[in-house]
Amino acid sequence: MSTDATPAAVTPERERDVVAAVPTGLLVAGAWRDASGGGTLAVDDPATGRTLTEVADATADDARAALDAAVAAQADWAATAPRERGELLRRAFELTTERAEDLALLMTLEMGKPLAESRGEVAYGAEFLRWFSEEAVRAYGRWSTAPNGASRLLTMKQPVGPCFAITPWNFPLAMATRKIGPALAAGCTMILKPAAQTPLTALAFAQVLLDAGLPDGVVQVLTTRSAGDLTAPLLADARLRKLTFTGSTPVGKRLVAQAADNLQRVSMELGGNAPFLVFRDADVEAAVEGAVLAKMRNIGEACTAANRFLVHADVAEDFSRGLAERLAAMPVGRGTEPDSKVGPLITREARADVHALVAEAVEGGARVLTGGEPLDGPGAFYPPTVLTEVPRQARIRTEEIFGPVAPVGTFTDDDDAVATANATEYGLVAYVYTRDVSRAVRVAEGLQFGMVGLNQGVVSNPAAPFGGVKASGFGREGGAEGIEEYLDTKYVGLAL
């Protein structure tokens, strides 16, 4: 993700204007409307604790209305020419790019990450629209002769049907476009439920879709404080054909169970616990560079965040010192400040959780190379932190940290390192630094993860299949695989 956009000063007036321009209702059947119960939900700035605005608080009745609209629009959307569907996505890509500054500022205000990173997410999120605008015309079927020659076998790809997408707060745009892009390309209609903490980016993006010419009912957006109440009637309705979820593993497990009654198709992008392996032959400077990205992207609040650093004992000191120096030099501040590199965590509760992991490790004997204490002030700021000599039983060695904390451990044997990396219920991404090609292949093959970053600290790419194994879920987003999640294969046998 590019984070090199030129920082610009943001005035309070500009903040107000950008927030005021966001539609705050529910998008159902092509129109904005209030929640059926008339309720609203406050959206806060995690850097100041102040409320930015209120948005509609959808109820179960709104969910049913949204599903009715998605079902009503499904047949026409599926019958819309693939090129036309692709062109809608292409216009959405262009409008998202045109509105990048406003979308980035909204994201920073509601989520906290520095503006340069929000700009990076807008560019990354928009790329899914461009990628799937190109994939819309490539849902190929097959024609073959049965082995006994008596019939012909025709396979065709058809849209799964109305889908429900639930997204988390940490990537408010990209997690939505990564689902809406392939769903629309495949000919599926959709209901999107963004996270309660970050609905503004999704609402502004819904307006992008409308301005790009979205037909009524093809995408609905429901914001709510009662995610469970909204989800239950949708999954209980067999007209809904697919659930696509990005979020935590415990919630994902519950949703898979709920979707079982109607056997809706399910894609799950869940939690991670990424190991970051640095072998003895690695370019240590490059490894530190990659570690800064893999750890600090999104303030550490990413499913792909490096969570456990495993470094060969011969280079561990150089690596830890280099990482601590780089992290200590990152300015912490509100994401709208031009030189901020580390914004606030999403809430003070989230910060307390991160600090509890650090404090427990330190009490058990871990050494703090930098950071380690929450920062004063109204926002949920936590400084970049590097820990070494973390005790074996410390929770920070096994739990997803979701903050700017890097625990560094050591190893001396390759097989032990891979075994330690695999000793987690999660399996989303692993990072590997080595200059030895054979070792790279051996280790990449041995890692039980859906993705491996080889000598690179970022794996996310719209043209690649993003996803995990084990408790990190199943299904892939992006790449040629992404659209398959929204397509069923039908086979027609033709007797001669």
User: Considering beta carbons, is residue 120 or 187 the nearer one to ligand NAP?
Assistant: 120
Residue 380 near residue 403 (C-beta atoms within 8 A) = no
User: Considering beta carbons, is residue 159 or 272 the nearer one to ligand NAP?
Assistant: 272
The number of residues in the chain equals 496
Least separation in angstroms between CB 298 and ligand NAP? 9
Computed over its alpha carbons, how large is the radius of gyration of the chain? 23
User: Considering beta carbons, is residue 175 or 418 the nearer one to ligand NAP?
Assistant: 175
Residue 104 near residue 118 (C-beta atoms within 8 A) = yes
Among 120, 125, 161, 168, binds ligand NAP (CB under 6 A): 168
59 binds ligand NAP (CB under 6 A): no
Distance CA 477, CA 100 (A): 22
Among 59, 167, 220, 267, binds ligand NAP (CB under 6 A): 167
Of 89-97, 107-115, 169-177, 275-283, the window that binds ligand NAP (rule: CB under 6 A) is 169-177
Within 41-111, residue ranges assigned H as helices are 60-79, 82-98, 100-111
> Residues 2, 43, 189, 248: is their CA dihedral positive or negative?
positive
461 binds ligand NAP (CB under 6 A): no
Q: Which of 110, 269, 400, 484 is catalytic?
A: 269
User: Considering beta carbons, is residue 311 or 428 the nearer one to ligand NAP?
Assistant: 428
Of 17-25, 111-119, 132-140, 269-277, the window that binds ligand NAP (rule: CB under 6 A) is 269-277
Distance CA 280, CA 296 (A): 23
Least separation in angstroms between CB 17 and ligand NAP? 26
Query: Measured at CB, which residue is nearest to ligand NAP?
Result: 247
Amino acid at position 220, single letter: Q
User: Considering beta carbons, is residue 89 or 243 the nearer one to ligand NAP?
Assistant: 243
Q: Site for ligand NAP (CB under 6 A): how many residues? A: 28
Q: Is 269 an active-site residue? A: yes
Among 287, 303, 432, 487, binds ligand NAP (CB under 6 A): 303
426 binds ligand NAP (CB under 6 A): no
Amino acid at position 233, single letter: P
End-to-end CA distance of the chain: 54
Distance CA 18, CA 105 (A): 8
Distance CA 383, CA 48 (A): 16
- What phi-psi label fits residue 470: left (phi over 0), alpha (psi between -120 and 50 degrees) or beta? left
The residues that touch ligand NAP, with contacts defined as CB under 6 A, are: 166-171, 175, 193, 195-197, 227-228, 231, 246-248, 251, 254, 269-272, 303, 400, 428, 468, 472
